[in-house]
Amino acid sequence: MRITKSDLVGMFKRFCALLNNKDLILEHNAVYGGYLVVQIGELGSEYHPFGHIRRNAREMYLSLAFACDTIEVIKEKQDLLNRYEKVL
């Protein structure tokens, strides 16, 4: 499976949209070995939700895809619970 930069950026945008988070950056550094998701804090601090390990495009794409799928399942389950509670 070949992942292009546009594939990865699209998956990253999906991830950010699901979290409704505009403070995330997909950082790339070829010298250090790939991509890293960085969240910028209020005072400029950095947090790495996927850890400090840089990943190549394929690994980062698959990590983001897994996270997106998981978030969507959780949101669906939460919606079902909310609808069920309204019935009661």
Residue for token digits 């019935």? 87
Q: What is the pLDDT of residue 16?
A: 96
Mean pLDDT of 9-37: 93
Mean pLDDT in residue range 19-48: 91
Q: What is the pLDDT of residues 35-56, one digit of tens each?
A: 999 999 888 899 998 889 999 9
- Residue/partner pairs of 23-29 with CB below 8 Å, 24 or more apart: 24/49, 26/60, 29/54
Residue 62: pLDDT above 80? yes
The pLDDT-based confidence of 29 (bands split at 50, 70, 90) is very high
Return the axis-axis angle of helices 57-87 and 5-19, rounded to nearest 10°: 30
- Where is pLDDT greater, at 33 or 18? 18
